[in-house]
Structure 1
């Protein structure tokens, strides 16, 4: 039997739901239904690509465009972030960080630098807090103040001036099309964060920075065959991260990970291994070699 040729590595753009023209506000239930439909279609599209089913992929693309394409998806996401709908995941982050940020000395020298990956708005809680100097990037920029860029193709920092105190990956990792790519994205975040132990003059920041804010759909962790909280913690610890805070709701899981020094005896590699069986489980996984 002839071996199948592997195609080129898939980019983050291959997994991100492809931006409906601006529309009037739609109901919470309609917004949720639209987002869920996009997620389902993107999953089917990845399966069709994996099977080499060009006709199936084309048919799914037609369905995606009928929903408004990526513009329609992002419009729904923006509406989902509206304050009256309980959106904006950065509000959770600010609840966690406010105590240490409020106690930060006024003459500390500068605002903290944040890289927001997958940014949809310049008006979220972090932006309004005045604690951060924020650089925002997204695969499909939705406006001024957001650079159109793929994080996986962003040039690596040359020095500390191009590194950050905190990186936000809110509902981004789940759009990376392959488990290996998700692991590489998590590994790559460490290269963009400042080295640990540099907040000696600001002890109130030491407990939380440098850090990674990670948000995922709750089922990625609570109902996956290949990932649960214990395994996620093990993966993150192998990269030198320590869990500072976490929160689980019906829809989302939120984590704040502080970057420490990589343990030489850290576990791994982390391959795609079933840890929970059951027909209702999903296949979300993170692979780290």
Structure 2
């Protein structure tokens, strides 16, 4: 009797071709449409969850899977990072940090060791920060896209036990906007400060002290420029309550970029921040950050 043939793999993940083997490019318009569709579906899902509508929730999950799930969202994000599309937000960060790596300050406090970076929501190991040679980078993502990226939820990552497990800089590029609830966004921002090293570490290196320890935050521009519940003034107030000072910012048609330096002297000086309308209008979005 001939040996019985094995059936298809039971795991969908096991049966899916590796994401990194996909080489087909999609247009900028299609990329943007796919990302926007994902955001809209996740917004509808949050509404269904809030209303306890299991039927609607299941239908939305089916739509998300039909689009390719979180993998298709990340693939579109990777397409958006291509140089010919003006992607890779870390290029902006490297421009801001240029003065910190001048010839007179090549060495870190730790006998020339590279600065430690935690990249949350990492999609690639070949961005500007990775190629700069200035950082020892730990990359994490909910759904790892390849070698060099640890599959991990930042909100479940164990807190550092000491300074050796903390970081000089954290990158949070297009991650906060994907957290489903305003309170969860606030908690994510609060958590970043717990993973950064103490500000006093750079006291003997003025150029480093101006930028580290820090948080690099990137959001879709409408989250700040067209929200009912968040504008830059309120975002600054929220970040200051967590001990951050804004050292650089940039706004484009699509994105807002911020570099926040941790300064423990400001921690806990303001708040709490509830969901409060600060701009009215039917065309506004509902992006918010709540911090208790």
Q: TM > 0.5 between the two?
A: yes
Name structure 1 gaps, 5 residues minimum: 1-18
Q: Deviations over 1:28-61 (max 9, x none)?
A: 1111111111111111111111111111111111
Relative CO higher for 1 or 2, CA cutoff 8 Å, sep ≥ 6?
1
Superposed, 1:83-122 pairs within 5 Å as: 83-103=83-103, 105-108=105-108, 109-122=112-125
Counterpart contact for 1:224–1:282, Cα < 8 Å: yes
Superposed, 1:1-289 pairs within 5 Å as: 22=22, 24-103=24-103, 105-108=105-108, 109-263=112-266, 266-289=269-292
Counterpart contact for 1:20–1:71, Cα < 8 Å: no
Q: Distance in 2 between matches of 1:106 and 1:100?
A: 9
**Alpha-carbon deviation of 1:262?**
4.1
Counterpart contact for 1:239–1:262, Cα < 8 Å: no
Q: Could you tell me which residue of structure 1 aligns to residue 8 of structure 2?
A: none
Q: Distance in 2 between matches of 1:263 and 1:125?
A: 31
**Alpha-carbon deviation of 1:62?**
1.2
Q: Distance in 2 between matches of 1:264 and 1:63?
A: 42
Q: Distance in 1 between matches of 2:63 and 2:187?
A: 30
What is the Cα-based RMSD across aligned positions, in Å?
1.5
Counterpart contact for 1:20–1:67, Cα < 8 Å: no
Name structure 2 gaps, 5 residues minimum: 1-18
Runs of 4+ in 1 over 6 A off after TM superposition: none
Q: Distance in 2 between matches of 1:266 and 1:139?
A: 33
Q: Could you tell me which residue of structure 1 aligns to residue 12 of structure 2?
A: none
Counterpart contact for 1:21–1:72, Cα < 8 Å: no
Counterpart contact for 2:244–2:266, Cα < 8 Å: no
> Number of residues paired by the alignment?
271
Q: TM (normalized to structure 2)?
A: 0.90
Counterpart contact for 2:172–2:215, Cα < 8 Å: yes
Q: 1:73 to 1:219 in 2, by over 3 A?
A: same
